[in-house]
Structure 1
Amino acid sequence: MGSQEDVLRQLADSDCADATVGWGRPGHVGLAFSREASDRDAAVTLATAQMAQALPGAVLVRVDAG
């Protein structure tokens, strides 16, 4: 995915201004979203699609905070 700066630039250039970025293990990026929506699943689906566009080739793993 490139450097942390590259990842941040790609996210900043995307439609995901509501993503909070966290760095954990090398090569992993943690994202949390704070968006308003009438349907949670639709919001998660949209965020996942936007991340796939912003970070092509990244393996996305969905974890619900419950």
Structure 2
Amino acid sequence: MVHDFTLVYALDSDMGSQEDVLRQLAGSDCADVSVGWGRPGHVGLAFSRKADDSDAAVTLAMAQAAQALPGAVLVRADGV
């Protein structure tokens, strides 16, 4: 089953530019994510993931995002 959800992160001030963030995501297991920019210093990551249940999809996405964007803090999860 496919699960669609969005994770919104507050970025660490040392994270660099939007291009730097995109490079980090592209080189990670989050390369399939759609990225949205809204509030300054925040990024929205829209996922569409296959998994047995939504908890598994979200848990894996959060772990992968933590590796790709060290220091980022999850501030909201939509569609979970």
TM-score, length of structure 1 as denominator length: 0.91
Question: Greater relative contact order: 1 or 2 (C-alpha under 8 angstroms, separation 6 or more)?
Answer: 2
Q: Is the aligned partner of 1:32 residue 2:46?
A: yes
CA drift of 1:62 comes to 3.8
Q: 1:13 aligns with which of 19, 27, 34?
A: 27
Q: Mind listing any 5+ residue stretches in structure 1 that lack a counterpart?
A: none
Alpha-carbon RMSD across the aligned residues, in angstroms, is 1.2
After the TM superposition, which segments of 4 or more aligned residues of structure 1 sit over 4 Å from their partners? Answer: none
TM-score, length of structure 2 as denominator length: 0.76
Q: Deviations over 1:6-51 (max 9, x none)?
A: 0000000001122110000110101110111111101100000000
Q: Is the 8 A contact 1:14 1:50 kept in 2?
A: yes
Instruction: Flag the 1:25–1:11 CA change in 2: closer, same or farther, 3 A.
Output: same
SS of 2:56's partner is helix
CA drift of 1:60 comes to 1.4
Partner residue, 2:68: 54
**Greater strand content:** 2
